[in-house]
Each structure stands twice: as C-alpha cells, then as structure tokens.
Structure 1
C-alpha cells in the first residue's frame, strides 16, 4: 500500500462516484414520473375523472 496505490485508489473512488451519480439520476427520473402520476390521481380524486397528457 502507500504512495504506490494512491492513483489506483483514487480511480476506484471516481468509478464509485460515477456509478452512484448514475443511480441518483435514475432515482430522480423515477421520482419525477411518480410525482406526475400522483398529481394525476390527486386531480382524479377531486374531479372524479382520470386524464393523462398525450
């Protein structure tokens, strides 16, 4: 270990960061879709009609 592995360890950390960033984007996308659906169902509760944008 020590100085000889700094670069390799740094690269591993960067790869982990990139993987987590991609997962975060996927989660945010899923949350946006769910929020859209929730808003449509909340509106349906108020109006008695479920409508979807085209």
Structure 2
C-alpha cells in the first residue's frame, strides 16, 4: 500500500481498520476511495503544471528561433 502513495497516517488508519475485522470493510473501502480522489486531484494539478511548463518552453523555443533568424539576417 505504501507504493500506492499513501501517507504513513493513512496506512496506520488502514491497518487499524483491518485489525478490527470484517465490520470495517466499508470504512476501508471509503478510505481507499478518498485516497484515490486525492490522487486524482494531485494528478490533475500536476498535468496543469506540466501544460504551463510546456507552453513556456514553446514560447522560449519560438523566441530562440526568432533570434537565430535575426542573427542570420545581420550576418548577411
């Protein structure tokens, strides 16, 4: 479960629920659903950040191409 990115606190809670037996199956499921939702949000945030970085890189690539064109023109 640690490889799934769960915090130590959540793992402790999960293990405690497991130790309580089958009457906590629903609570364990809800805990996992909650953690999945947190992960989905984190992925969405990371994708937005990646998109912003890609955009900025594209802008800089465009600027570099323009500078190269200007340099070639000034060399001629």
Structure with higher helix content: 2
RMSD: 0.7
Question: What is the TM-score of this pair, normalised by structure 1?
Answer: 0.84
Return the index of the structure with the highest Cα Rg.
2
Number of aligned residues: 48
TM-score (norm 2): 0.61
Structure 2 unmatched ranges of 5 or more = 1-19, 68-76
- Structure 1 gaps of 5+ residues are 49-54
